[in-house]
Amino acid sequence: MEEPGTPRSVGNNLDPWYSNYAERTAGLSASEVRALFAVASRPEVVSLAGGMPNVSALPHDVITDSIARVMREQGATALQYGSGAGQPVLREQILEVMALEGIRGTVDNVVTTVGSQQALDLVTKLFIDPGDVILAEAPSYVGAIGVFRSYQASVVHVAMDDDGLIPDALRQTIAQLRGQGRRIKFLYTIPNFHNPAGITLSAERRPEILEICRANEILVVEDNPYGLLYFDHPAPDALRSIDDEGVIYLGSFSKTLAPGFRVGWVLAPHAIREKLILAAESAILSPSAFSQLTVAEYLKTADWKGQIDTFRGVYHERKKAMVSALAEYLPDLTWTDPNGGFYVWLSLPDQLDSKQMLPRAVKELVAFTPGTAFFADGRGRHAMRLSFCHPTPENIRVGIRRLATVINGEIDL
């Protein structure tokens, strides 16, 4: 037994193991706004903060039937360990899903994962040594930045405009980093209905971005969970449909079906796919056979394309509610008007700081995600992400009205 009061660690004596952690653990920082989000989940708060799909728009009875059939007809397989690459039947169906976005692949090169979040983790694990550079849009998906940090990558943001990633900015960033002797491992991009920016990479820019990466031997990691959730017209064909050697494609059933199944996938060039399977097996042995077979059964027996249309209608209506409320209550600000997905990016005047504003907003019963969450370099204070996926159109209007009260109050201070 140690004497009471004996210091067992330097720096943080609340955690006796503080000095034992691996260096990379320092990259696992909790979001600064996590505590506030707990408050924001109270029912009286309109949360424009999370990215939770509207699962109540799903036919729960149809899913219940799928689960029952899986258990009746394939119970022994569903309850067993499976292959590290995933269930073959589902991987076949994933090819059909991807074909809707112009992608042709082979079953062999599809690996199912525990959501696309695990795919991000595996790809980063395969390619990143501490200090390696990952290029990402400015801003980028908060969950990807978290994974990249946990592998001690250095995330360098590349500017976007209304047509997505800017090719010249990409060229310049690469040249600058190369000039400094940095090793750039991949470009992480969300070309469709970007999280958080709500922007889509134009069809004209797609081959150009790929060409820049090819010329510089930089792999492209294309993350596309929202591609099928378009509003007026489909997104341009996937980057992977233009280049099958230089692109790792990540897909997910979280937004087109439900995140609770935790089923996503990777389509990777053959050599990478082999390593992905080894890394996946060492992390989780195999993804859930039960979840995968249930998703496969749903795809086989339900009108999954019709359900995606239903989702598109629901989210389109909510997006319209959000942008019309912004036009009414915050006419002097600027925001993106997405053609799909879940998110609007709101820019604030320079004197306003979205992170500082959040506690006041929560007091006014509205929540958002401060822009700083989406940058690895501290930028983003003068912006915020507003999600329209979860609240009803009426609540979205109420939320934006409350937000306007907070923003206008700050401007008047």
> Which residue ranges make up the site for ligand PMP (CB under 6 A)?
51, 115-117, 141, 143, 190, 195, 223, 225, 252, 254, 259, 264
CA angle 250, 374, 330 (to 5 degrees): 115
Q: How far is the CB of 140 from ligand PMP (least distance, A)?
A: 8
Q: How far is the CB of 253 from ligand PMP (least distance, A)?
A: 7
d(CA 278, CA 285): 9
Q: If we measure between CA atoms, which residue out of 318, 273, 297, 242 comes closest to residue 52?
A: 318
Helix (H) or strand (E) holding 133, with range, is strand 133-138
Q: How far is the CB of 195 from ligand PMP (least distance, A)?
A: 4
In eight-state DSSP terms, residue 223 is E
Residue closer to ligand PMP by CB (options 206, 255) is 255
Rounded to the nearest 10°, the torsion over CA 315, 321, 325, 326 is: 30
Contact 103, 240 (CB under 8 A): yes
Residue closer to ligand PMP by CB (options 330, 389) is 389
Q: How far is the CB of 113 from ligand PMP (least distance, A)?
A: 8
Residue closer to ligand PMP by CB (options 246, 341) is 341
Residue closer to ligand PMP by CB (options 125, 360) is 125
Q: How far is the CB of 260 from ligand PMP (least distance, A)?
A: 9
Q: How far is the CB of 264 from ligand PMP (least distance, A)?
A: 4
Compute the 3-state secondary structure of the chain and give helix, strand, coil in percent, each to the nearest 5. 45, 15, 40
Q: How far is the CB of 143 from ligand PMP (least distance, A)?
A: 6
Residue closer to ligand PMP by CB (options 195, 339) is 195
Contact 273, 108 (CB under 8 A): yes
Residue closer to ligand PMP by CB (options 236, 259) is 259
Residue closer to ligand PMP by CB (options 255, 402) is 255
Q: How far is the CB of 259 from ligand PMP (least distance, A)?
A: 5
Q: How far is the CB of 327 from ligand PMP (least distance, A)?
A: 26
Q: If we measure between CA atoms, which residue out of 94, 114, 122, 124 comes closest to residue 106?
A: 94
Q: Are strands 133-138 and 184-189 parallel, antiparallel or unpaired?
A: parallel
DSSP secondary structure of 55-120 = GGGS-HHHHHHHHHHHHHHHHHHHTS---TT--HHHHHHHHHHHHTTT----GGGEEEESHHHHHH
- 3-class SS of residue 180: coil
Q: Give the residue closest to ligand PMP by C-beta.
A: 115
Residue closer to ligand PMP by CB (options 117, 354) is 117
Residue closer to ligand PMP by CB (options 74, 113) is 113
Q: Are strands 154-161 and 133-138 parallel, antiparallel or unpaired?
A: parallel
Contact 165, 172 (CB under 8 A): no
Indicate the length of the chain as a whole number. Answer: 413
d(CA 287, CA 276): 13
